[in-house]
Structure 1
Amino acid sequence: MDYLDMDADFPYAQNERVAEALYQNGWVVIDNYVPAKFREALLKEQQELLDKGQFRHAGIGKGESFAIKPEIRSDKVLWMDKEQLTPLQEVYWKMMDDLKRKINQRCFLGLRSFESHFAMYPPGSFYLRHLDQFQSVKYRIVTVILYLNEHWEEAAGGALRMYFNGEDGIETFRDFYPFGSRLVVFLSAEMAHEVLPTHKERISITGWFRDDEY
């Protein structure tokens, strides 16, 4: 696969930087995390899976409490099966395995496994403010998002809004647009966030490092 020949350090070049920033701040945003050809290949694969009707409406909660609530979130997802990964997904999974190892070395979080899905937000969709770690998913420790979008402009909306507690107790926020190849990593239990309404199709791979096996 020619995208693997672009950089001898790909796909692990920036993982130590990510781990250090997570240790220092509890979150990090890295642009150009993966080469354009790799992102384009993942985006193409996502589109093919979407065209085959394999995506499902995302829901809220886990197990018996799971429910589809479009007034809260209106994206569609396709979970990756670690036992049946495509060659592209295997490359990404190995990249995340290395990142998990680097985060454990630097942050001592005891991360043991990884789960991930493709996420597609149709035009007009959103996800209201929330935390990724809650009562039924306490095993989610670190959230990892890689954006796959092509030619994204701020006018298209769809920003990830992240909320921060200031030293003076006043809450602030920052908006990060889903530019292609941008990676966002943060502590799942500490970073409240939301996806603002998007005006065009918005694509990402969203995943979580867990402190348990599954």
Structure 2
Amino acid sequence: MESIYEKIADEIYDKSYAIIDDFISEKLRSSLLKEQSDLLDAGKFRLAAVGKGEKKQIKTEIRNDQVLWMDPDELSKYEKIYWEEVNKIRLAINRRCYLGLKSFEGHFARFPKGSFYVRHIDQFQQVLYRLVTVIIYLNDSWTPDDEGVFRLYLPQEDGSEKLLDVLPKGGRLVVFMSGEIPHEVLPPNKERISITGWLRDID
């Protein structure tokens, strides 16, 4: 029987993205959400920047979400469990797609009500090592009225694009090729929480 990790790898191979509901247990989801809330209360989050290195800067007209990067050497109990799950995805994609993925980097991402991130691609000149984007949503509940969808612009063979809107439902996993699929976050009507990260071909 095909594992969930193999299913993700097959879908990445076939169509460059995969969406899996209930990827993590309810206990893990709620524990990571509580951890995020505690870190937010402790003042650990910062406005997200764009660019890399010397070109890194805060541009709220492009994105106005808040992030907290995770330290791979100081992961919490629940972060380690999630890291292990992502590592299983990494190994499955390497077996299926031969991408040579070596490591993962990630952060908590908080979009307050009304915030956004305009259309962009995750792999740009300074971060060519980001090959696969991995997002897990942590919200307790989400309905279409809450808005804040994750919009994928899927390239079609005729040069057009197909829009795919994904609700940030708790436990839902979105995986896609970082350099192939433009995407954006539309403004939510309430706080929107995820862990966003990238599988990389560097250590």
TM-score by length of 1: 0.92
Matched, 1:190 2:190: no
Structure 1 residue 43: Cα displacement: 0.5
Structure 2: unaligned runs, 5 residues or longer: none
> What SS does the corresponding residue of 2:73 show, helix, strand or coil?
coil
The one-letter code sitting in structure 2 at the alignment partner of 1:212 is I
Where does residue 10 of structure 1 map in the other structure?
none
Structure 1 residue 166: Cα displacement: 2.1
Where does residue 92 of structure 2 map in the other structure?
102
Where does residue 23 of structure 1 map in the other structure?
13
- What is the count of residue pairs matched by the alignment? 201
Structure 1 residue 158: Cα displacement: 0.7
The separation in 2 between residues aligned to 1:97 and 1:170, in whole angstroms, is 34
The one-letter code sitting in structure 2 at the alignment partner of 1:156 is D
Poorly superposed stretches of 4+, deviation over 6 Å? none
Where does residue 41 of structure 1 map in the other structure?
31
The separation in 1 between residues aligned to 2:157 and 2:56, in whole angstroms, is 36
Structure 1 residue 14: Cα displacement: 1.7
Matched, 1:71 2:69: no
Structure 1: unaligned runs, 5 residues or longer: 1-12
Moved more, 128-137 or 170-179: 170-179
Structure 1 residue 183: Cα displacement: 0.2
Decide whether the 8 Å contact of 2:22 with 2:171 is kept in 1.
yes
> What SS does the corresponding residue of 2:6 show, helix, strand or coil?
helix
Sequence identity, in percent? Answer: 52
Deviation digits for residues 29-52 of structure 1 (CA, Å, limit 9, x no counterpart)? 111111111101110111001110
Q: Of 116, 129, 133, which aligns to 2:106?
A: 116
Where does residue 89 of structure 1 map in the other structure?
79
Decide whether the 8 Å contact of 2:155 with 2:181 is kept in 1.
no
Where does residue 172 of structure 1 map in the other structure?
162
Matched, 1:134 2:124: yes
Where does residue 50 of structure 1 map in the other structure?
40
TM-score by length of 2: 0.97
Structure 1 residue 172: Cα displacement: 1.9
> What SS does the corresponding residue of 2:141 show, helix, strand or coil?
coil
Matched, 1:202 2:201: no
The separation in 2 between residues aligned to 1:138 and 1:50, in whole angstroms, is 30
> What SS does the corresponding residue of 1:97 show, helix, strand or coil?
helix
The separation in 1 between residues aligned to 2:161 and 2:75, in whole angstroms, is 40
